[in-house]
Amino acid sequence: MKVLLTGGGTGGHIYPALALKKRIEERYPSSKFLYIGTERGLESKIVPENGVPFKMIKVEGFKRKLNLSGILYNLNTIRLFLSSINQSKKIIKEYAPDIVIGTGGYVCAPVCYAAAKAKIPTIIHEQNSVAGVTNKFLARFVDKIAICFEEAASQFKGNESKVVYTGNPRAQEVANIKKTPILEQFELDPNKETVLIFGGSRGAQQINQTFIDSFEKLSEQPYQVLYVTGEVHHKTILNQLEKNYGESVHKESIRIVPYIQEMPKVFAAVSIVVGRSGATTLAELTSLGLPSILIPSPNVTEDHQTKNALSLVHHGAALMIRESELSVEHFVEEINTLMKDEEKRKEMANNSKKLGKQKASDELIEVINQII
């Protein structure tokens, strides 16, 4: 089977594609892959690092702010889009894939459109509870629309018959990770209750500031804290903490790191997770059955992280704090609500596990087999 993957911009679009690729290889070892992305997106770095053949096309997303510069930018974007369709047609004709799968981001638009027009079986995968503009555009052309949140189905009006609830392939990739002593790498006790707090791979300024302000209260608690700042913010936060607390910043129960490479392994070793509500993070949390406190980023399209978070909150799998409501008192209180109530954590963990799609890649592969 020859598979053409496309998707990019953020890790949330790239990692599901790579997780699916890994599972297809396990089931069909003779499969071949090609990935189409852009030079500017993270895929240009991540995909080659994972050993996947990679080709680039030039395409841009539309500006939502329609002032004069925005209009001029969008006119150029239309020109690039038309050009990128032709680029995609050439790559597709040369590669001759059996299936084309788009996992989101504007690069999917020309690739999946060109594939559908060439009568090649095409699937788009929507990770969020709010469907992206690109996937809404592609819905009428593709063969199947895979979703991760049931709430997304109603957003593909006129194409409901194409929608399949598969979940996120990233979930299946991490579902069987077991608890290990990985916390020892951070000089923490692997047998002690631990809170992991992070604001995404690049960190989040508001969460970082709240952590700084909450440091003294968190250091007084009976549990451990592992805090991930994001690489860009690490030195600034350490400097601020040392300025505020001097030598008392060096607490045995709190560790502050810039980045964690093997985040799912750390997820499996902690008691609760506090962080953003991006689609990939939630797929990992639910596949592992973890209770969480979600702080959605307000700086995303259509506030989709809040809607992602609410899907867990409504099922009793998470608590949510809006960024506008962040304060030291609220932050520490919500963490203590869970850390001091083991039964509550167990209940939320069970609810989280029920939402996890542990066979997401296999379900997507079944969809592939149906249409090729």
pLDDT, tens digit, 9 for 90 and up, residues 63-75: 666 566 655 665 6
Q: Is residue 177 in some structural domain?
A: no
Give me the pLDDT at residue 319, please: 98
Check pLDDT > 90 for residue 60: no
The percentage of the chain sitting over the pLDDT mark of 90, rounded to a whole number, equals 77
Q: Which residues pair with 122 in a beta bridge?
A: 100
Q: Is residue 176 in some structural domain?
A: no
pLDDT band at 12 (very low <50, low <70, confident <90, very high): confident
Say how far residue 78 (Cα) sits from the centre of its chain.
Answer: 28
- Considering the domain architecture, whether residues 154 and 240 belong to the same structural domain is answered as no
- Considering the domain architecture, whether residues 257 and 343 belong to the same structural domain is answered as yes
Q: Is residue 343 in some structural domain?
A: yes
Give me the pLDDT at residue 75, please: 64
- Considering the domain architecture, whether residues 130 and 194 belong to the same structural domain is answered as no
| Strand extents, DSSP E, the chain | 2-6, 32-37, 54-56, 99-102, 122-126, 144-147, 163-165, 194-198, 224-228, 254-257, 272-275, 292-294, 318-320
Q: Is residue 175 in some structural domain?
A: no
12 has binding-site annotation: yes
Give me the pLDDT at residue 245, please: 79
- Considering the domain architecture, whether residues 203 and 106 belong to the same structural domain is answered as no
What's the CATH number where 318 sits?
3.40.50.2000
Question: How many residues can be counted in the chain?
Answer: 372
Check pLDDT > 90 for residue 202: no
Q: How far is CA 287 from CA 173, 182, 264, 292, 338, in A?
A: 9, 19, 10, 13, 20
| Numbers of helices and strands, H then E, in the chain | 14, 13
Q: What is the mean pLDDT of residues 4-17?
A: 92
Structure tokens at 59: 């395409």
Q: What is the mean pLDDT of residues 258-274?
A: 94
- Residue 30's domain comprises 2-170+358-371
pLDDT band at 248 (very low <50, low <70, confident <90, very high): low
Q: Is residue 266 in some structural domain?
A: yes
CA atoms within 13 A on the CB side of 152: 29
Confirm if 109 and 78 have CB atoms less than 8 A apart.
Answer: no
305 has binding-site annotation: yes
Report d(CA 85, CA 160) in Å as an integer: 26
Q: What is the mean pLDDT of residues 196-200?
A: 88
Confirm if 277 and 296 have CB atoms less than 8 A apart.
Answer: yes
- Considering the domain architecture, whether residues 21 and 160 belong to the same structural domain is answered as yes
200 has binding-site annotation: no
Report d(CA 58, CA 68) in Å as an integer: 23
Q: What is the mean pLDDT of residues 320-342?
A: 96
- Considering the domain architecture, whether residues 85 and 189 belong to the same structural domain is answered as no
Q: Is residue 221 in some structural domain?
A: yes
Maximum alpha-carbon separation in the chain:
66
* pLDDT higher at 67 or 59: 59
Closest-CA residue to 41 (of 6, 76, 66): 6
- Considering the domain architecture, whether residues 74 and 138 belong to the same structural domain is answered as yes
Report d(CA 201, CA 322) in Å as an integer: 19
pLDDT band at 299 (very low <50, low <70, confident <90, very high): confident
SS3 278: coil
Give me the pLDDT at residue 138, please: 97
- Considering the domain architecture, whether residues 240 and 292 belong to the same structural domain is answered as yes
Q: What total number of domains does the chain contain?
A: 2
For the chain, what is the mean pLDDT? Answer: 92
- Considering the domain architecture, whether residues 81 and 219 belong to the same structural domain is answered as no
Give me the pLDDT at residue 301, please: 78
pLDDT single digits (tens) 275-294: 999 999 999 999 999 999 99
Q: Is residue 255 in some structural domain?
A: yes
- Considering the domain architecture, whether residues 309 and 162 belong to the same structural domain is answered as no
Is the pTM higher than 0.75? The answer reads: yes
260 has binding-site annotation: yes
Give me the pLDDT at residue 331, please: 97
Closest-CA residue to 227 (of 269, 193, 257, 264): 257
Check pLDDT > 80 for residue 196: yes
- Considering the domain architecture, whether residues 82 and 142 belong to the same structural domain is answered as yes
The percentage of the chain sitting over the pLDDT mark of 70, rounded to a whole number, equals 94
Structure tokens at 318: 């998470």
Q: What is the mean pLDDT of residues 95-116?
A: 96
Q: Which residues pair with 33 in a beta bridge?
A: 3
Give me the pLDDT at residue 74, please: 59
Give me the pLDDT at residue 64, please: 64
Give me the pLDDT at residue 353, please: 94
SS3 225: strand
Give me the pLDDT at residue 21, please: 98
Check pLDDT > 80 for residue 114: yes
Q: What is the mean pLDDT of residues 320-340?
A: 96
Q: Is residue 60 in some structural domain?
A: yes
pLDDT single digits (tens) 207-221: 999 999 999 999 999
pLDDT single digits (tens) 129-162: 999 889 999 999 999 999 999 889 999 999 999 9
- Considering the domain architecture, whether residues 328 and 231 belong to the same structural domain is answered as yes
